[in-house]
Amino acid sequence: MPSTKLSIIYYSQTGTVETMARRLAATAESLGAEVRLRAVGRDGEDASATGEHPAPPTADDVVWADVVLFGTPTRFGNVAGRLKVFIDSLGAQWAQGQLADKVYAGFTSTQTVHGGQESTLLNLYTTIHHFGGIIVSPGYTDGSKFVDGNPYGVGHVTGPANDAPVDEVANTALDHLVSRAVTISRRLNA
């Protein structure tokens, strides 16, 4: 069976979502997936908090992929504007049906518990419904989901000072999310 093609497209202001994206990429590669890691930048600034510079996303990164994972910090219970601008630029590909029938999932971070993680993911998935995409949320399909408590995707709470690093609970949830997305995509493409 050909390798699963997976694009991870994210926006990260403080580095938390970037850390999560890199974990997803490493786990996907360990599962044999071909991975494109892409970072939406801020105007006039690097897209990477680590100094390593993922390429900015293009429409081709979504069209090429079997699985697309979108990552965003929560902004007032919604997708960050920078990522939304990229997603909104995919109109031509949507009109040609190039975004349909792919596996999609999301991940996010907030400063506070109940800071809008679930609404952010649900708002992201509204767009995926319009794409005709197949949302593969983790649900409660693994015991780890009863620990992190987010059946819609993966979320991490950074704390008000953005100083709570991505922990083992979040890493386990990220590993499960990408493993599930790759597994379901492989079943669909079999």
pTM, two decimals, is 0.94
Q: List, for residues 7-22, the tens digit of each pLDDT value.
A: 999 999 999 999 999 9
**Among 154, 129, 185, 144, which residue's Cα sits nearest to residue 23?**
154
Note the residue count of the chain: 190
pLDDT at 49 > cutoff 90: no
Sign of CA dihedral 185, 64, 37, 9: negative
pLDDT at 160: 87
CATH among 3.20.20.370, 3.40.50.360, 3.20.20.70, 3.40.50.720 for 5-189:
3.40.50.360
pLDDT at 47: 52
CA angle at 80 for the pair 128 and 179, rounded to the nearest 5°: 50
**Among 43, 127, 148, which residue's Cα sits nearest to residue 79?**
127
pLDDT at 53: 75
**Tokens 């596996």 -> residue:** 103
Q: List, for residues 129-157, the tens digit of each pLDDT value.
A: 999 999 999 999 999 999 998 999 999 99
- If you average pLDDT over residues 113-129, what whole number do you get? 96
